[in-house]
């Protein structure tokens, strides 16, 4: 089992460029999440998907879009990248959603720099 | 405002020594509290999850305590190893309409040989 995988591992963009971060999990989990982690701050939830076909905004959704392609895959898109979006992005999954007492499993992260 | 504060910000100890990391929260209503370990350049890995009725929970050399009355938690690491060098993050779940997780900024622990 690979767990949660993310691509790419590193990316440098220019302001205004777009890109999609890919995430896949092989644990048959229902729920998937996208977080960003900035220095000196806790992780912040961007979007989550409680189940296939549903997505909801988290704490910091502005400037991002998501797609739950199927049960395994959850992608995050930056339509017009800004320097404020320079961060480390983590994808996570859990068997049940935020309402439940269950742990989240994280991918290795994507380190994004926007110039 | 729901907040999670951790102390110290960073800590250096010698291999084999014990240490305790602190977490104070103002999250209400409280659902559960989690501790994660995050190695440099990796994603967080869950250590423990505790509800309000659980005072103590262990995972190997890691023991988490929770005092729901004072809204404090601690993570005690026994007989530290070099592999314990990492950031330790306290996360609290609020029992509100979103059940969002509120993440602390973490304590960076360095174990020296």
| pLDDT confidence of residue B99 | 64
Considering only CB atoms, A42 lies closest to which of B4, B46, B99, namely B4
Q: Is B9 left (phi over 0), alpha (psi -120 to 50) or beta?
A: alpha
Question: From the candidates A2, A42, A46, which should be mutated to test the interface with B, based on the most B CB atoms within 10 A?
Answer: A42
**Alpha helix stretches (DSSP H) within B55-100:** none
Confidence of residue A99 (pLDDT cuts 50, 70, 90): low
| pLDDT confidence of residue B34 | 95
Smallest Cα–Cα separation from A76: which of A55, A97, A95, A96? A55
Q: How far is CA B41 from CA A107, A108, A111, in A?
A: 11, 7, 9
- Calpha distance B24→A15 (Å, rounded): 38
A81 within 8 A of A16, measured Cβ to Cβ: yes
Mean pLDDT by 10 residues, chain B (113 residues): 93 98 92 94 94 92 95 97 98 78 95 97
- Please enumerate residues of A whose Cβ is less than 8 A from a Cβ of B: 4, 40-45, 58-59, 90, 92, 97-99, 101-109
For A42-87, the pLDDT digits (tens) are 999 999 999 888 999 999 999 999 999 899 999 999 999 999 999 9
| pLDDT confidence of residue B97 | 58
Percent of chain A with pLDDT over 70: 97
| pLDDT confidence of residue A71 | 95
User: Chain A partners of B104 at a C-beta cutoff of 8 Å?
Assistant: 42
Instruction: Give phi and psi for B44, each to the nearest 5.
Output: -65, 150
Give the SS3 label for residue B72. Answer: strand
The 8 Å CB, 24+ separation contacts for B54-62 are B62/B35
Confidence of residue A1 (pLDDT cuts 50, 70, 90): confident
| pLDDT confidence of residue A77 | 98
A25 within 8 A of A94, measured Cβ to Cβ: no
Burial B77-109 (b: 16+ CB within 10 A, else e): beebeeebbbbbbbbbbbeeebebbbbbbbbbb
- Calpha distance A99→B86 (Å, rounded): 28
Considering only CB atoms, A98 lies closest to which of B34, B43, B99, namely B99
Q: Which two tokens stand for residue A73?
A: 């895959």
As a whole number of Å, the end-to-end CA separation of chain B is 41
- Calpha distance B51→B31 (Å, rounded): 6
Under an 8 A CB cutoff, do A42 and B41 touch? no
- Calpha distance B34→A68 (Å, rounded): 26
């Amino acid at each position: 089992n690979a767990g949660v995988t993310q691509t790419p591992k590193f990316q440098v963009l220019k302001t205004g460029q777009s890109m999609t971060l890919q995430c896949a999990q092989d644990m048959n989990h229902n729920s998937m999440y996208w977080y960003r982690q900035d220095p000196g701050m806790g992780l912040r939830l961007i979007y989550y998907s409680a189940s296939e076909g549903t997505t909801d905004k988290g704490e910091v959704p502005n400037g991002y879009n998501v797609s739950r392609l199927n049960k395994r895959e959850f992608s995050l898109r930056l339509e017009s990248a800004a320097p404020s979006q320079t961060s480390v992005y983590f994808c996570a999954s859990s068997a049940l959603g935020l309402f439940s007492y269950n742990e989240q499993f994280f991918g290795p992260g994507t380190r994004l720099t926007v110039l | 405002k729901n907040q999670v504060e951790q102390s110290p910000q960073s800590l250096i100890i010698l291999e084999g020594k014990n240490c305790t990391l602190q977490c104070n929260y103002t999250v209400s209503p409280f659902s559960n509290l989690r501790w994660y370990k995050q190695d440099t350049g990796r994603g967080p890995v869950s250590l423990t999850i505790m509800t309000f009725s659980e005072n103590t929970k262990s995972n190997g050399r890691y023991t988490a305590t929770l005092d729901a009355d004072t809204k404090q938690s601690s993570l005690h690491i026994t007989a530290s190893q070099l592999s314990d060098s990492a950031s330790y993050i306290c996360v609290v779940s609020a029992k509100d309409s979103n059940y969002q997780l509120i993440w602390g900024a973490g304590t960076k622990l360095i174990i020296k040989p």
